[in-house]
Structure 1
Amino acid sequence: MDAKILNRYEDQEEDMTADDVLVERAKDGDGEAFGELVRRHRAKVYGYARSYTQEPFLAEDIVQEALIRAFLHLGSLMDSRRFLPWLHRIVRNQAYTRLQKGPQKREQPFSGLQEKTDWEDLDSILHRLGRRWSQPVDPATNPEEIMVRRELLQTITSLLHCLNPRERKIVESHFFNHLSPLEIARLFQISQANVYQVLSRSRKKLIQEKTRVVVDQYVQSRKEAGIMKKVVLNTPEAFSLHTWVTCVMALRGMLEAANRKLTLPMVMGLSGHAFRLTVVPEHVHIAGPTMFEFGPVLARGLRNLGFTSRSISDFKQAAGIEINANLVEPSLLGANAREKRQLSQVLPQALELIHRSVDRGYPVLAWDMFIPEFALIYGYDDEQKLLHAGDNCGHLGTIPYDHLGRGLIEDLFVLALDESFETDQRQMLIGALQMAISHARGEEPAFGATHGLDAYADWLNAFEKRTIEPNGNAYTLAIAHDARRNASDFWKEIAETWTDTTFDAIRPVCLQAAAQYGAIADEFAQLCRLFPFPAGGEPNDPQQSAQAIALLTSIEAKERQALVLMETMLHALTA
């Protein structure tokens, strides 16, 4: 073997052995050993984080969080020789969580778990902190480790101030004095059930306080970095659009800011929303039209328009099915009601995305800012901690940072433009056709609703059973009518204005599709007059129900014919 290769091999073996020894010493409480591991590998993991993001400050955040997690999880690493790959895995998972580009999995050891601590799991971290800080600190412990431990302890102890005296005593007894619920019950002369209730209630308070602290720290970090400011873009022209499909209003506003001024029918068609239909079985609830995966569907639509995007989301599953904003007390939509709702744990990431986008001159699409519809955030004020937002439903104003994600449904979703890329009309139309055809065939996650052509069967069934919720049915009809009217205009615009010879073969089919969707829109218009929003008419009246069934049956047949036309166009463009 070549001497250089042999020496390199021996050096690698020494490094591996050194890591192995350091990990074992660190597990036994040797702070200097952990500090040496950090010093040795910090540059490597920073480079690894930069492979996920080109933004240095974000890569540094990922590394910091990864090192804290590594410190807290070190006891779970069973194969000490695998420290660096294990650390890389933590960095990767942190990057996925921060960037929303992959599965948000928590790191796992290579050889099973004996104990597990997760910074996102308050119970786990409190148990770990209670145990670690009950032990004396070795004077020789590495200063870097001491700093990390002190910062974590200070954060947790400051969080405890959100509890009332009784709650705090019980929490400290459980986590720091290691008393069992039975022992706590005897000490405070209450039942074990009450102990569990107090611990559960306290945990929720602590999670909320943790989020609030993180938001405050985020704003403070902006101040320390000298980027604390107020930025308000021009009020988006999209707020004056007359459309029921508010997500398309928001997309149009974002595109305008990026100097891509397309007509409403063109944005509606290329983003796929001109061809969508989503119905909640049994009652045709108002949530139906917005029961889809916001992130993937909106991102795919934007790709058809030549843009990549980033999003942050936190959804309360099925909450939208239970609530209709038009049928609740108006006070539940106000600021006081928001104050009483839970803070989203992804709020800091959402604010970071908003700041980055607005600083670039692009408004941000957001869900449920005023009511459960889509809006645009087009400015922020760090000093006042206010977001400037509006929509085309008559809402325009400011919303506190910590009210984001605390609307009626308590969902948080924000999406921002990332980068533009070169595309052409042919690729844009192919993407839109593929999206429309996939939706028509029902190839989307259900989320408690029915998508595409299958939705008509559930809609007809609800009319036959006379279980229709009037307001939700009227809203679904208004959305469908608006979408199909724009679908007709979309195909007409392509046939008449896309002059490239590439489209000569499909131009006649485009005109047929325009006529077909125009006829569908006309029949939806009849249904809208029969069941006007918001009152909704009498959809469960036998005579009106029969009229609706006849019209929907006719619409469904026309939709199936329109699908054939789109499949014909897609085949011609991809052959």
Structure 2
Amino acid sequence: MVDWEAMDDSELVVKAQTGSQEAFGELVRRHRSKVFGYARSMVQEVHAAEDIVQDALIRAFLHLGKLVDVERFLPWMHRIVRNQAMSRFRREGQRQETSFTTLGAPASHNHDHPEMWDQLDYVLERVSLSMEKKSLQDEIPEERLMRLETQRMLLDIISCLKPRERQIFESHFFNQLSPQEIAKEFSLSSANVYQILSRSRKKVIQERIRVTVDSYIRTRRDWGIMSKVILSEDPIQEKGESWSTAGNVLHALAKAAGKNVSPAMVMGLTGLAFRMNILPENVHIAGPTAYDFADVFPRGLRNLGLTARVVDGMTPVIGVNANLLEDSAKSIKAIQKRDIHHALPEALDVIHHALDRGYPVMAWDLCIPEFGMVYGYDDERRVLFINECGRKDTLDYHNLGRGVLEEIFVLAVDASLHITFKDQLREAFHMIIEHYKGNELQAHVPAGAVKGISAYDAWCEAFRNKKVEPNGNAYNIAVFGDSKKYAAQFLSEVASSWNLTEDPHANMVELLVEAAETYRQTAEVFRKLHALFPYPTGGEPNGKEYASQAITLLEQAKSLEIKGVQQLEQILKTLN
């Protein structure tokens, strides 16, 4: 039996974020008196403080997944309580506080059944009716209507539960009964109560997201901005020249934003041409994308003179190799069985905002774990128009984030900024060298991912251990070999466009040309690896002879790339 009392707050938060009702209950038991005391310090009346605490617990329950620093649960709760109190002050102004229970309590002449007042939806319904009457006389009607809308939304959310589930859910989260007390009241075992609470919490969270999206669309309709936007296909019609779908999409975004840059320049200035990440256990197919998108892409776009808005719903978990899944796992039926992603409302907002301004949006895992583009939307049909790896399709709003990996990442160009060519190069080379040396401070990177020059050693070790997955290994070779080719092209383009009159160092072009040749040679080594392990079949990487050849070639590539890094450092030194 789990000893919840022996766990510290951070352990309980982690457990609660995965759906453990026992863990959340222990957090509430442990801190409820402190939270109430904090609320009591801000309001004079006990019932008002209790209302604030109840509202705060509801919000904590619904948003616990957003708490990043799990060691700061109590300060996080205090912020929620403070926000609830401030909202209450703004709503009530100088008027006398009125408690939830007072608003809901039936008058003595009312013939309603008393037991109905134990049910949250009935209380909220009465509150809503009361607020509707008072909103006409309210000094700040907008705030009253906002509260009314929130209450109605909560009613909609709770309605997803079956009657029995709802009674148990309300008893625990709103009446603060323990699972043991609920078990006794409903003649159930504690195990059954825990199971029902866990299932109900998941349902409520999913329903909250669905209701939020519905409310978002209703708001667009009420504001008269329900629309259908499909951008010109010019910047998005091509399948892309690179094995890096991220590079292809970023190039399309740059073109749409008016940047006249080549694919090689995009790959170079964003650092993608020099990026090297390996998942060493079996050279998993996810290696080339095992980095923090929310850090790398905005920094790279700044080097192109663009700022970006990002919604990051990624996890550091290594997903499955989608190429090895049955088609049924990628079907619409499979997608609809997956949870609605918690970041969906925010992602839709970013997508609408960008498309309304004429910018396509970068998105991850629309149908498969690759980068694609959203180039249109239709609010009436609630669908997005997408282009992923050259394949165009539509995607229901609710299915964004329900791909194979159940992750959301969207990025939209926000604005242009002025940056000189030298500053573009300076920032890009700094970013590239930082990556090579493994000095990036990134979140959402799978545990065990090895990056930079060290990735070669991890890759060789996987061959020695004969644990290489053929399809994933072949994909890594194809992507990284293609990247080295773009690195050489990027350096050659910079050399061609360098204006000697702007820089006193006459050897800059020579340095760039030498570095380009180093990366051209590295790309040639990867071409030989690709011949040994063609994509998608992957050859026989765990065969003794093939593994030996692979290790020899990888060590050659490593030596060349070490030389390349030294050359890039010299270029950066010259730029500085």
Alignment-derived partner of residue 19 in structure 2: none
1:398 maps to 2:394: yes
Counterpart residue identity of residue 566, structure 2: V
State how far apart, in whole Å, the 1-side matches of 2:153 and 2:263 are: 49
Alignment-derived partner of residue 230 in structure 2: 232
State how far apart, in whole Å, the 1-side matches of 2:351 and 2:178 are: 44
State how far apart, in whole Å, the 1-side matches of 2:211 and 2:198 are: 20
CA contact (8 A) 2:477 2:530 kept: yes
Structure 1 residue 334, shift from structure 2 partner: 1.9
Alignment of 1:82-161 (within 5 A): 133-136=100-103, 143=138, 150-161=148-159
SS of the residue corresponding to residue 419 of structure 1 reads: strand
Structure 1 residue 336, shift from structure 2 partner: 1.4
CA contact (8 A) 2:53 2:81 kept: no
State how far apart, in whole Å, the 1-side matches of 2:150 and 2:415 are: 37
Alignment-derived partner of residue 12 in structure 1: none
SS of the residue corresponding to residue 305 of structure 1 reads: coil
Alignment-derived partner of residue 528 in structure 1: 530
Structure 1 residue 135, shift from structure 2 partner: 4.4
CA contact (8 A) 1:385 1:400 kept: yes
From 320, 325, 333, the equivalent of 1:328 is 325
Counterpart residue identity of residue 296, structure 1: D
Deviations 1:82-126 (A, max 9, x none): xxxxxxxxxxxx9xx9xx9x999999769x95996999xxxxxxx
Change (3 A) 1:370 1:173: same
Change (3 A) 1:106 1:218: farther
In structure 2, list runs of 5 or more residues that go unmatched.
1-38, 85-97, 106-129
State how far apart, in whole Å, the 2-side matches of 1:560 and 1:276 are: 13
CA contact (8 A) 2:540 2:546 kept: yes
CA contact (8 A) 1:73 1:117 kept: no
1:365 maps to 2:384: no
Counterpart residue identity of residue 470, structure 2: P
1:24 maps to 2:53: no
CA contact (8 A) 1:440 1:452 kept: yes
In structure 1, list runs of 5 or more residues that go unmatched.
1-19, 32-67, 77-93, 120-130
Structure 1 residue 173, shift from structure 2 partner: 3.4
State how far apart, in whole Å, the 2-side matches of 1:438 and 1:344 are: 33
Structure 1 residue 343, shift from structure 2 partner: 1.3
Change (3 A) 1:416 1:26: farther
Alignment of 1:4-43 (within 5 A): 23-25=42-44, 29=48
Alignment of 1:116-515 (within 5 A): 133-136=100-103, 143=138, 150-235=148-233, 236-237=235-236, 239-318=238-317, 321-391=318-388, 393-444=389-440, 445=442, 447-448=446-447, 449-502=449-502, 504-515=506-517
State how far apart, in whole Å, the 1-side matches of 2:211 and 2:193 are: 26
State how far apart, in whole Å, the 1-side matches of 2:71 and 2:220 are: 29
Alignment-derived partner of residue 545 in structure 1: 547
CA contact (8 A) 2:273 2:486 kept: yes
Counterpart residue identity of residue 450, structure 2: T
Change (3 A) 1:406 1:350: same
State how far apart, in whole Å, the 2-side matches of 1:530 and 1:563 are: 26
State how far apart, in whole Å, the 2-side matches of 1:205 and 1:423 are: 48
CA contact (8 A) 1:72 1:117 kept: no
State how far apart, in whole Å, the 1-side matches of 2:282 and 2:82 are: 44
Counterpart residue identity of residue 426, structure 1: K
Change (3 A) 1:337 1:365: same
TM-score, scaled to structure 1? 0.77
Structure 1 residue 414, shift from structure 2 partner: 0.4
Change (3 A) 1:28 1:272: same
Structure 1 residue 431, shift from structure 2 partner: 1.1
State how far apart, in whole Å, the 2-side matches of 1:69 and 1:176 are: 12
State how far apart, in whole Å, the 2-side matches of 1:432 and 1:511 are: 17
From 555, 570, 573, the equivalent of 2:572 is 570
Structure 1 residue 474, shift from structure 2 partner: 0.6
CA contact (8 A) 2:40 2:49 kept: no
CA contact (8 A) 2:54 2:174 kept: no
Residue identity (%): 40
Change (3 A) 1:22 1:450: closer
State how far apart, in whole Å, the 2-side matches of 1:114 and 1:312 are: 23
SS of the residue corresponding to residue 398 of structure 1 reads: strand
SS of the residue corresponding to residue 162 of structure 1 reads: coil
TM-score, scaled to structure 2? 0.77
CA contact (8 A) 1:370 1:395 kept: no
Alignment-derived partner of residue 29 in structure 2: none
Counterpart residue identity of residue 545, structure 1: A
Deviations 1:298-345 (A, max 9, x none): 011001111111101112331xx2411001111111221111111122
State how far apart, in whole Å, the 1-side matches of 2:231 and 2:78 are: 50
Change (3 A) 1:70 1:180: closer
Change (3 A) 1:109 1:488: closer
Change (3 A) 1:515 1:115: closer
State how far apart, in whole Å, the 1-side matches of 2:208 and 2:488 are: 50
Structure 1 residue 435, shift from structure 2 partner: 1.0
